[in-house]
Structure 1
């Protein structure tokens, strides 16, 4: 089931305003757990963890964000 342009735009806002901050809290909690569990891993390991987690959040939502910045393809007035 494909989402309409307006639905994708709304879902992208919800994901960015609600989901992303929650994901950031989870990522920081995971990094904090790694610090406690492994007695402070090297900074490069923490950097790799944050970079990987920074890319992982967007993979499931790629279809939602695709084309949201473009004009509405169903809007007839945008073509004029």
Structure 2
């Protein structure tokens, strides 16, 4: 019995084909790690890179509008 008959024709068991997926390009920015799954080293590296970016570029301006409170129509 050959592999195709045993495993079927799926992309997970594609032994004979020469097609390989090319890896995605490396990121151009600092990716924020998932802090629930990340190692403490990833978190520390992210924090130092963020501090260096703040020191070189400065803080980002906050263009947030004032907080709006919900008032029901029946109170008007």
TM-score, normalised by the number of residues in structure 1: 0.28
- Structure possessing the higher relative contact order (Cα contacts under 8 Å, 6 or more residues apart): 1
Computing the radius of gyration from Cα coordinates, the structure with the larger value is 2
TM-score, normalised by the number of residues in structure 2: 0.29
- Greater share of residues in helix: 1
